[in-house]
Amino acid sequence: MSMPLRPGDQDRLGRYELVGRLGSGGMGTVFLGLDPSERQVAIKVVRPEFANDAEFRARFRSEVNRARQVPSFSTAEVLDADPDHDPPYLVVEYVDGPSLAVVIRERGPLTGSALHSVAVGIATALTAIHGAGVIHRDLKPGNVLVAPGGIKVIDFGIARAFEATSRHTQTDQMVGTVAYMAPERFEPAHQAQVTPAADVFAWGAVVAYAASGRTPFDGDSAASTAMRILTQPPDLSGLPPSLRAPVELALAKDPRDRPTARELLDMLLGGNAPTVPSRAVEPRLSADAGPARPPVAAGLASVPASPPAGPAGPSFAGPAGPSAGPAGPRRRGSAGRIAAVTVVVAVVLAGVGFGLRDRLTGGSPAAPPASGAPVAGAGSPAPQRSARPLADHAAILRGTHRTLIHIPEIDRDLALDTNSAEVEASDGTGAKSQFLLVPYGVDYVIKSLRGGPGGQACLGVRIVPDGGSSVVPTECAQTKATLFTLVPTRRKDEKRRPTYYLRNEAYGFVQWSTERKALFVEEIGDAPPLTSFSFVDRGLA
């Protein structure tokens, strides 16, 4: 429901008529507007102190362009923007429905199918947002609208333009809402990179809030809440069993232990949530060791915060090349000193101190304990079942671990010899058989760690007119010929590793020809692919 315009408010902005106010916050004011066809739209007008900053305008323009690539299912579609207007503004689809925060405040916690629909709707939105290479950064109940047609997530990605403008987001402040911030977001800006895993953490906190009416790390102040996020297990009372496991994984302290948005969606729709310890996701931090890491579901990788840069090859045109996927920040220990530390949190608008995590935890990095080892001071040993196989698989899919690419049907591994014109199958020995899966949105560029005839090489599809296709080494540029999607087969290989079909969106599925003893690519219609692939961990890249 909109409010009347106030004295001094403009009644027109560009080609839009302003007819009411929808709300306001630290970034600006949101107006209800009408476009030239009299369709209702929501218009976010930026605050004057941001509007006068050239750095902000450039970032705002970039983030709007990225946000416009997000599919509009479960999100409010970005319709228009004018970063050069005074003041700058953003136009999005008007969603006629209350926010999740209003629904919970007025009607109480959700249960049953209503709660599950919210969880699925937000996970669907994050899958679309991350698939476009965008990170929301400020997911909270106020940014989730409950519309007649389903859940709509708003304000995705734009927070980065505000957060990254250092003149207004000062050293000790950041954009966000404390109760929904992932632990890594309390790192100093130069030590922590915000990744899609932070949105997944926020998803867990929002779903827990929807089920109980309170946040899972609820404290009596911003500092208390932040401390609980860093050191305490979440309070998940109110969650039904069907949602408890996905939310536990989403709220893992270490971003590397969280599933991706697509994995969350698979869990929610397929009921295939992985086994997790029955106790909270993370025990308390001890004085000498970080918390034990639970297993994480295998699936597609996290989206980099921005498209990787690289050269464009002569035969494979594309704007950018791959880069290693972001690794989550390392944990910090020394929680035994927390009680002796005075915590000061500056909360301005919706911001909190960048340096809070250091002040809470003492500041020195501490590696996580070995799988199955007891956590000092936690009061009970960690689960004895090792989580390493799934954790290693997730690391491969995030681009932080080297891998062999195994073909179970022929028990061979892909190889790229420096003297070879095509990708071959081999016994898996040597650097020629080691690759890196570099995430790019929901796709991958597959980089050889041996290199090709011209030096650095990635896998690409070569189409020969009237002569079929092959998989060849090419320059590491992100193009339609070098982007591959992993399609889960729901089967395991001989070592119980997940298997995937390898698909190129432009040309089809990658398959092995026993006659040619070579890989080829083709569209296969409704027929199942003949060849699957699994990944064997070979350690840090």
Residue-wise pLDDT tens digits, 415-461 = 987 677 888 888 888 888 999 999 887 789 999 987 655 567 899 99
Three-state DSSP state, 396 = helix
In a domain, 4, yes or no: no
Question: Is the same domain home to 69 and 111?
Answer: no
Kindly report the CATH number assigned to the domain that includes residue 509.
Answer: 2.80.10.50
Question: Is the same domain home to 104 and 160?
Answer: yes
497 backbone dihedrals φ, ψ, rounded to 5°: -90, 145
Which letter does DSSP use for residue 72 in this model?
Answer: S
Question: Is the same domain home to 493 and 509?
Answer: yes
- Domain end point (choices 75, 93, 111): 93
In a domain, 259, yes or no: yes
In a domain, 509, yes or no: yes
Question: Is the same domain home to 167 and 232?
Answer: yes
Residue-wise pLDDT tens digits, 261-304 = 999 999 998 765 454 433 333 332 222 223 333 333 333 233 33
Pairing between strand 150-153 and 435-440? Answer: unpaired
Kindly report the CATH number assigned to the domain that includes residue 58.
Answer: 3.30.200.20
Q: What is the mean pLDDT of residues 108-113?
A: 95
473 backbone dihedrals φ, ψ, rounded to 5°: -75, 140
Under 8 Å CB-to-CB from 334, ≥6 apart: which residues?
285, 287, 361, 362, 363, 364, 366
Find the range with the poorest average confidence among 297-301, 351-355, 480-484.
297-301
Over 90: is that where the pLDDT of 385 sits? no
- Domain end point (choices 73, 93, 113): 93
Pairing between strand 12-13 and 443-448? Answer: unpaired
In a domain, 243, yes or no: yes
Question: Is the same domain home to 41 and 140?
Answer: no
Which letter does DSSP use for residue 86 in this model?
Answer: S
Per DSSP, helices labelled H in 132-183 are 159-163
8-44 burial, b for 16+ CB within 10 Å, e for fewer?
A: eeeeebeebbbeebbeeeebbbbbbbbbeeeeebbbb
Distance in angstroms (rounded) separating the CA atoms of residues 304 and 431? 26
In a domain, 476, yes or no: yes
Three-state DSSP state, 508 = strand
pLDDT value at position 240?
95
Residue 4 gets the label, from left (phi > 0), alpha (psi -120 to 50) or beta, of beta
DSSP 287-321: SS-PPPPPP----PPPPPSSPPP-PPPSSS--SB-
Q: Which residue has the tokens 């980089």?
A: 447
Distance in angstroms (rounded) separating the CA atoms of residues 157 and 132? 10
Q: What is the mean pLDDT of residues 42-54?
A: 81
Over 50: is that where the pLDDT of 380 sits? no
- Domain end point (choices 24, 58, 93): 93
Per DSSP, helices labelled H in 326-387 are 356-361
Structural domain harbouring 485: 399-540
Over 90: is that where the pLDDT of 18 sits? yes
Residues involved in catalysis: 138
In a domain, 386, yes or no: no
Torsion of CA 78, 83, 89, 94, to 10 degrees: -10
Read off the pTM.
0.53
pLDDT value at position 505?
81
Question: Is the same domain home to 170 and 53?
Answer: no
* Domains identified in the chain, total number: 3
Residue-wise pLDDT tens digits, 213-247 = 999 999 888 888 999 999 999 999 999 999 999 99
In a domain, 380, yes or no: no
Which letter does DSSP use for residue 169 in this model?
Answer: S
Question: Is the same domain home to 159 and 304?
Answer: yes
Kindly report the CATH number assigned to the domain that includes residue 294.
Answer: 1.10.510.10
Question: Is the same domain home to 155 and 294?
Answer: yes
CA-closest candidate to residue 146, choices 77, 74, 97:
97
pLDDT value at position 454?
54
Average pLDDT, rounded, for the chain:
75
Residue-wise pLDDT tens digits, 298-310 = 332 333 333 333 3
In a domain, 5, yes or no: no
Question: Is the same domain home to 195 and 64?
Answer: no
Question: Is the same domain home to 276 and 229?
Answer: yes
pLDDT value at position 279?
31
Residue 210 gets the label, from left (phi > 0), alpha (psi -120 to 50) or beta, of alpha
Q: Which residue has the tokens 């079929």?
A: 468
Find the range with the poorest average confidence among 132-141, 180-189, 497-506.
180-189
Question: Is the same domain home to 427 and 454?
Answer: yes
Question: Is the same domain home to 41 and 148?
Answer: no
Distance in angstroms (rounded) separating the CA atoms of residues 299 and 64? 29
Q: Please, what sign has the CA dihedral across residues 232, 237, 239, 244?
A: positive
CA 437 to chain centre: 16
